[in-house]
Amino acid sequence: MPTGVAIRDVRDQLFDAAERVLLRDGASALTSRAVTAEAGCAKGVLHRHFADFDAFLAELVLDRVARIEEQADALRRAAGTGTVTDHLTRALIDLFGPVAVSVVSLVTSRDGLRSRLRAARPTGVPILTDAATAIASYLTAEQALGRIAADADVDTLAPTLIGAAHLLFADRQAAPPGAGAVRKVVGAVIAGVERPAA
């Protein structure tokens, strides 16, 4: 891109470029040069907007976490409708899209990024921890409606669902698992605590 030409929404443009590099080439290929080349801008553009590359990556992760919060709101609003199994199956498929799985891989592979994220988020792995919080919140809403057993431990069920789903989706060379495979995991984890609709 020629010098002096304004870039609109540079932050989003750089984040989108980083996602494309992650999806196509993996976390090890994600460098500031790869991102700016993919975005079609000079390398200096990234450094004018972010203190360093780890700061850029931390903002990318936090931006994706904000998307999970939006999904969590929609999931909580669905409480009391349909079936718990259907909602959880759809939520896990949405949560573990290719970008989210790649971002988790990025976080676990970069020490500097993890250190930067730990300053604001001292526990857990971003994306996975946020997804577990979203699922726990939804299960709590369903519990209040009597659709999940009153004595169910939602704070254990939620990370169990996230961990099992992550294993289904992570590090795959083939297509992601289908809804049937995800539904089977959900059914196994919540067996005995989902209550039939009245």
pLDDT at 57 over 60: yes
DSSP per-residue codes, 97-108: -HHHHHHHHHHH
pTM: 0.85
Q: How far apart are CA 20 and CA 26, in angstroms?
A: 9
Q: Mean pLDDT over all residues of the chain?
A: 89
Q: How far apart are CA 146 and CA 172, in angstroms?
A: 37
pLDDT at 126 over 80: yes
* Least confidently predicted of 68-72, 76-80, 120-124, 136-140: 120-124
Give the model's confidence band at 197: pLDDT under 50 very low, under 70 low, under 90 confident, else very high.
Answer: low
Task: Output the six-digit token pair for 140.
Answer: 């709590």
Give the model's confidence band at 32: pLDDT under 50 very low, under 70 low, under 90 confident, else very high.
Answer: very high
Which amino acid, residue 145?
L
Instruction: Give the 3-state secondary structure of residue 190.
Output: helix
Top mean pLDDT of 92-96, 118-122, 126-130 is at 92-96
According to the model, what pLDDT value does residue 80 have? 95
Topology of domain 1-49 in CATH is Arc Repressor Mutant, subunit A (1.10.10)
According to the model, what pLDDT value does residue 90 have? 96
Q: Which residues pair with 194 in a beta bridge?
A: 148
